[in-house]
Amino acid sequence: MPRLSPLVGAALAATAFAAPTAAPSKFTYYNLTTPLAAPCDLNTGPDGNIYASTFLANKLVEVDITSANPTLTEITIPYTLPQLPDSALPARLQGAGSCVVQPGADGNVYLATGVRNQLAQYNPQTKKFKFFENSGGTAGNLQPFNDAWPTETGLWFTQTTANVLTFFDYATEQMTSYEVPTPLSSPVGVYVVPSGDVWICEFVGQKIAKFDPTTKQFTEYPVPLTLLGPAVVRAFTGGKYLWFTAIATNAIGRIDITTGAFKTYLDTANVGVPIEDTNDKNGNVWFSTALSNTLNYITPSTGKITAIPQPDSGITSLPVSLPPVANIAVHYVSQDNSIWFTQLAANRVGRYQLSGNQ
């Protein structure tokens, strides 16, 4: 995940959104009980439940969607490293700055731990945590934003401040890191395509890169000026198109992995700042926006961007919503054809029910 420090301030200022509210039928909200926990990334776990990381609290959020009445549970993360040097803050704010959660093919949930510079593993069956030291050393991921993507044998994740791409092997619990060719490129987003190639976003390097696990070689593709600040890549359509957010230009980018050709989808209606993306079963590409309180999607066949206002989220009719709820994660769940999202400043997780070809 890219740098979101202004959003932390928004989280501290927007406590009015923490109270439960009624929502139109397509939207459902799940409020966190820990004040100012700031839910960040979100994903479907290996058990089918929804898991979310928290930016300002040492909590893993679980929403049991397998039951008739889904409930939200906050699980305390027993970090093994000493408390961070922020003791002047209230205890609930002494978090790791975690903003990555991914399911592993080994049945575990994996979490980045932000400035604690570890990889965390949570077993939904035993309810136990394990922690692994990053192979990037002390410079591994000292700033709290990176990303990860699972495979059948292990987990690929970026270490932004160390400028490396790392593979964690489920069986051996060992890490192997590969240095990104461009110095100080700040790799963030990562996605593994069906061929096994690993693609990453170089947030500062202004490139999209492919890593071949067989040859151990990187191929880098400089992004056009319309797609500066490539951050998160979590959508793949048509067997060859990778979609990523471009924070600096308020756009969504697409790269054809067979040719390296880019295409830009600029959001001209809102100054939303796209953060994450996902694709639904119909090939629509959804993306979250930090400053616009809307759910957004691109219809690839037409290039049209549609914004759906989120209820109980302030004024959404302006280019920048007031106040912004800081939508971070956006994630498609195929089992019930829904979009899940996090509102960092509103301190809640949300669900939007899809229908038809939306």
Rounded-to-integer distance, Cα 273 and Cα 258, Å: 28
Pair of tokens at residue 247 = 């924070």
**HSE toward the beta carbon, residue 345, CA cutoff 13 A:** 27
Q: In which order are the strands placed within the sheet that holds 348-353?
A: 27-31, 348-353, 338-343, 327-333
Q: Does residue 79 have a pLDDT over 50?
A: yes
Q: Where are the alpha helices (DSSP H) in the chain?
A: 5-13
Q: Are 98 and 114 in contact (CB under 8 A)?
A: yes
pTM to 2 decimals?
0.90
Tokens of 208: 């999209």
User: Quick one: pLDDT at residue 31?
Assistant: 97
pLDDT band at 308 (very low <50, low <70, confident <90, very high): very high
pLDDT digits (tens, 9 = 90+) for 168-191: 999 999 999 999 999 999 999 999
pLDDT of residue 20: 33
Q: How many CB atoms lie within 10 A of CB 173?
A: 12
**C-alpha distances out from residue 158 to 97, 169, 244, Å:** 16, 14, 15
Least confident of 113-117, 139-143, 189-193: 139-143
| Sequence-ordered list of residues with C-beta below 8 angstroms from that of 100, at least 6 positions apart, any chain | 1, 41, 53, 110, 111, 112, 146, 147, 148, 157
Residue 200 is predicted with a pLDDT of: 98
| Domains parsed from the chain with CATH numbers | 5-353 (2.130.10.10)
Measure CA of the first residue to CA of the last residue in the chain; give whole Å: 27
Alpha-carbon span 350 to 33, nearest angstrom:
15
In this prediction, residue 144 has a pLDDT band, given cuts at 50, 70 and 90, of low
Confidence at 319, pLDDT banded by 50, 70, 90: confident
226 CB burial (10 A radius; 0-12, 13-18, 19+)? middle
What would the pLDDT profile of 216-254 be if each residue is shown by its tens digit? 999 999 999 999 999 999 999 999 999 999 999 999 999
d(CA 222, CA 143): 24
For residue 153, what pLDDT is reported? 98
8-state DSSP, 223 = P
The whole-angstrom separation of Cα 223 and Cα 255 is 9
When pLDDT is averaged across residues 258-268 and rounded to a whole number, the result is 97
Segment holding 128, helix H or strand E: strand 128-133
Please tell me the predicted confidence (pLDDT) of residue 137.
62
pLDDT digits (tens, 9 = 90+) for 29-72: 999 999 999 999 999 999 999 999 999 888 999 999 988 889 99
Query: What's the pLDDT at 316?
Result: 87
Residue 280 DSSP symbol: -
